Structure 1
Amino acid sequence: MARNVRTTAKAHHPMSTATTTPQRDTEAATGTPAGRGHSRRFGLPVATALVMGNIIGGGIFLLPASVAPFGTISLLAFGVLTLGAIALALVFGRLAHRHPLTGGPYVYAREAFGDFAGFLTAWSYWITTWVSNAALAVAAVGYLDVLVPLHGSKPATIAAALLLQWLPALANLAGTRYVGAVQLVATVLKFVPLLLVAVGGLLSFDSANLGPFRATDGSALGAVSASAAILLFSYLGVESAAVSAGEVRDPRRNVGRATVLGTLGAALLYLLTTLSVFGTVPHERLVASDAPFTDSVNLMFGGTWGGTAVACMALVSMVGALNGWTLLSAQTPYAAARDGLFPKAFARKRRGVPTAGVLVTVVLASLLTVYNYTAGAEGVFETLVLVTTFTATVPYLLSSAAQFSFLLSGRSDRVHRPRLIRDTVLTLAAFGFSLWLVAGSGYAAVYQGVLFLFAGVLVYAGMSARRQRAGGDDRTTDTPEAPEVREARP
């Protein structure tokens, strides 16, 4: 990785200009620190699987019923959301090509706008990841109940939800090699049956089941925006490869490709499966369905065996998503901790994995899960899930703004002049799309999300004071577990 820094301790942005050595030139060309093998790094297939696996989590199994109340206009929202996600994917690809570092949106925002913007990005993204993990675990328990009846036992339900979170966490603690293996297997196992459902649904498609085009009062734009806000939760993960760029082999080449390929693959599967369910389940039944894929399979093939099959697919999908999101939830605070913006414990790695980030994330998600079940606060938990829609757009907005700033700078190391117009159009489209999603999240979600963001200001104040006491540079020390840090130090 090309990580050029100033020789002064005060100015230590990861991509500041300085003279490079032959060793760093080699790293810039390969994206790999000199002397470091690829045994712990992801290739293009695993990076693509990471993106697809994180996007296609539990949301795909709940998506059709969630947007059915808006009518088939939600399919239009799906198309708009897909185009916006692809625009974001292309922007992340360009950013990762110039900044192939672990941390993704955090790295881009900090390089463009300074420490505070970088911290807000890391903090917002971190909130998104661990709350999403809690949501996925709770949703997975519903499908687990089909396979192993829990009989409504609250202790058994809580234990199952915690087990579904801690198993992926243990896989992450075992090392990135195991994370990649689990992710690749989970993606393959869920992609094949979902594709079969999509094809089978299209063959059994009946337009009479679609229902009205717009099933709610209000404007068409409002319906599209509201649908997109719900759908975004199922699209989180488009930035997965960029966040883990430091763990991807040849990131300048593979991160952009994995991001686009993973997003396109997930979008195609989303559109096919949602359209299939819309065309096989009558609209009135779909609106009230708690398991739309089960209903669709039962109507396509008859019998009730579809419930078990879909439950197996859902569990595989959600465990794979939890596996990938657990890694992502540790990578952003790891990058911030290396720069002194998060506690130092988050910067320690073991077998390529930031262990403190994994442990803290799974503990917070577990506590939120237990609270959700014991307090019976379904409304509160749903609000927190909607907050993740808002908190996810904050890194998207800042990353798009950072790319726009880089393009306007005119610097040769930041601008690919033959692609300047295209990159500018994509960047503006990604920024406008992200801003539209913030508006579509609703006042309550934005209000709660801003409170979450401002709670982090106190953490930033404490870390800033600590850096000042340490003489202005509180980066992690040079250790064998953090080779990227060795590159960044003068």
Structure 2
Amino acid sequence: MAGSSKKMSLMGLTTLVAVNMMGSGIIMLPTNMAQLGAVSLLSWVITAIGSMAIAYCFAQCGIYCTRAGGMSAYTAEAHGRSAFFLCSFLYFLSLAIANIAVAISAVGYLTAFVPWFGSGSVPLFVGTLGLIWLTIVANFGGPRVTGRIGAISVWGVIIPVAGLSVIGWFWFQPSILIDAWNPRGLPISEAISSSIPLTLWAFLGMESAAQNSDAVENPKRNVPLACLLGTLGAAVVYVLSTTVIQGIVPNSELANSSAPFALVYAHMFNPLVGNIIMGLAVVACIGSLLGWQFTLAQTAKVTADQDMFPALFSKVSAANAPILGMLACGALQTLMAISTISPDASAQFGKLVNLAAVTNLIPFVTALSGLLVIMYRAKVSPPLYQRNVLILLVAMAYSFYALYSCGKDAMFGGAIVLLIGYLLYGSMAKRLAARLAAQAALPVAEA
């Protein structure tokens, strides 16, 4: 009982889940959604339901599967060792891609203070690359420093966005929202499909919700509840903030803005307030990027510890920071940033979001499918099994729909990346088999 008093409550975990998801995911969305029109807001309903189902299933996986590795471990339960690698590989790449998108968001907000960043593709690339390497070097201090900075900086997004959800309605004009409803005359189904990757982007990070089960009171009850309530809380803030902003700022302005939340606060108050919001958003994006850079390196480290990534990713400093791995991650992100150079921050952001969604959704599907095996091995009760299967079907249906909505280009890119993953694993298979055989004191042929 004494130990449980030190554990996290349901309210604490719910807040943690919502804060982890919000991060910087919302920061550029109003601009990209405005390019489709306010009709894109309908996609929030589908994404919220799908995300809640996915979050719940991951919570169930975390409760009944105690293996290290998160989604990769859940995948391996159903699909074996090679799937552990492929899940880690795709998730690793999705984080690298997402980091570039977050850096672009930050540069978009920085243009108010350094206009040169918005003057062309090269300045935008320089600013993006500068933030990527700044946050990598800042992570050399280890996880304790990273955690402290992230816990403070994330409120730079949450306060303005959540605040807009409440006070923005005093400036809301229905006529502006009506005018922005469907400026391109798209069929509703097409508008929803086109915006699904954008709304899904805001929920990425929910897969980490079950990772705190050891530090939670009554995890079998509180972890699933916190996943659902935290995801629902984030969804409410997302829907309200992106709706109210479309009823304050004319669609033509919003669709061309590189700092939508700063723009709406400037409309509501004055340019000074808008600049303050820009500053908060930059701090939040940098803090979020700092945390995700460390998560990227840690994902590589966990996989390297299984001998599935190069050994350099496993090496850590005295401060417990995988510095060599971070440098390698920085080199990869530099190459990715070069390949996506565009003078338009919004266009570049949208392209990266689609690819990040695909490379994240494939691990989602493989990890979710592991729940069936995990429940069978845990011998869960028939009513719980049936309920979880029903929610799993909802999560799977949304995942497949989201993959379809990402478009042919992103799906093609994801397929190429997946095939490269198979090639990489095949090149390591002999070495892995030999190591496993040695551990089991068996001949390689038998292992």
Aligned-partner residue type, residue 308 of structure 1: N
Which residue matches 2:233? 265
Which residue matches 1:344? 311
Which residue matches 1:406? 374
1:96 is aligned to 2:62:
yes
Which residue matches 1:119? 85
How does 1:53-92 map onto structure 2 within 5 Å? 53-92=19-58
Kept in 1, the 8 Å contact 2:39–2:182? The answer is yes
Kept in 1, the 8 Å contact 2:54–2:395? The answer is yes
Task: Identify which range, 86-95 or 68-77, moves more after superposition.
Answer: 68-77
Which residue matches 2:158? 191
Unaligned runs of 5+ in 1: 1-29, 32-37, 476-490
Which residue matches 2:398? 433
1:240 is aligned to 2:208:
yes
Which residue matches 2:445? none
Q: Deviations over 1:375-424 (max 9, x none)?
A: 879878854442111111101111221113434x3x3x253545223212
Kept in 2, the 8 Å contact 1:55–1:321? The answer is no
Matches of 1:194 and 1:68, distance apart in 2: 17
Task: Identify which range, 152-161 or 459-468, moves more after superposition.
Answer: 152-161
Q: Deviations over 1:259-284 (max 9, x none)?
A: 44543332222112101101111234
Matches of 2:38 and 2:156, distance apart in 1: 29
Which residue matches 1:146? 112
For residue 53 of structure 1, report the CA deviation from its aligned partner. 4.9
**Cα gap change, 1:299 to 1:420, in 2 (>3 Å):** same
**Cα gap change, 1:187 to 1:376, in 2 (>3 Å):** closer
1:397 is aligned to 2:365:
yes
**Cα gap change, 1:265 to 1:357, in 2 (>3 Å):** farther
- Name the SS of the counterpart of 1:234 in structure 2: helix
**Cα gap change, 1:285 to 1:384, in 2 (>3 Å):** closer
1:464 is aligned to 2:429:
yes
Which residue matches 1:363? 331
Kept in 1, the 8 Å contact 2:261–2:277? The answer is yes
1:449 is aligned to 2:414:
yes
Question: 268, 276, 279: which one pairs with 2:247?
Answer: 279
- Name the SS of the counterpart of 1:454 in structure 2: helix
Matches of 1:422 and 1:310, distance apart in 2: 44
Which residue matches 2:285? 318
Matches of 1:159 and 1:46, distance apart in 2: 39
Aligned-partner residue type, residue 147 of structure 1: F
Task: Identify which range, 453-462 or 55-64, moves more after superposition.
Answer: 55-64
Paired positions, count: 431
For residue 125 of structure 1, report the CA deviation from its aligned partner. 0.6
For residue 109 of structure 1, report the CA deviation from its aligned partner. 0.2
1:176 is aligned to 2:114:
no
**Cα gap change, 1:354 to 1:331, in 2 (>3 Å):** same
Which residue matches 2:74? 108
Q: Deviations over 1:155-194 (max 9, x none)?
A: 7755543342234334433222222212211223432232
Which residue matches 1:12? none
**Cα gap change, 1:217 to 1:160, in 2 (>3 Å):** closer
Structure with a larger share of its residues in helix: 2
Aligned-partner residue type, residue 419 of structure 1: L
Aligned-partner residue type, residue 71 of structure 1: G
Kept in 2, the 8 Å contact 1:204–1:300? The answer is yes
Question: 171, 174, 184: which one pairs with 1:204?
Answer: 171
Which residue matches 1:308? 275
For residue 438 of structure 1, report the CA deviation from its aligned partner. 0.6
1:334 is aligned to 2:282:
no
Aligned-partner residue type, residue 97 of structure 2: V
**Cα gap change, 1:274 to 1:414, in 2 (>3 Å):** farther
Higher relative contact order (CA 8 A, sep 6+): 2
Q: Percent identity?
A: 29
1:128 is aligned to 2:73:
no
Unaligned runs of 5+ in 2: 441-447
For residue 442 of structure 1, report the CA deviation from its aligned partner. 0.7
**Cα gap change, 1:249 to 1:354, in 2 (>3 Å):** farther
Matches of 1:90 and 1:135, distance apart in 2: 27
**Cα gap change, 1:166 to 1:48, in 2 (>3 Å):** farther
Question: TM-score normalised to the size of structure 2?
Answer: 0.84
RMSD value, Cα: 3.4
For residue 208 of structure 1, report the CA deviation from its aligned partner. 0.6
Matches of 1:446 and 1:105, distance apart in 2: 21
**Cα gap change, 1:52 to 1:355, in 2 (>3 Å):** farther
Matches of 1:153 and 1:229, distance apart in 2: 26
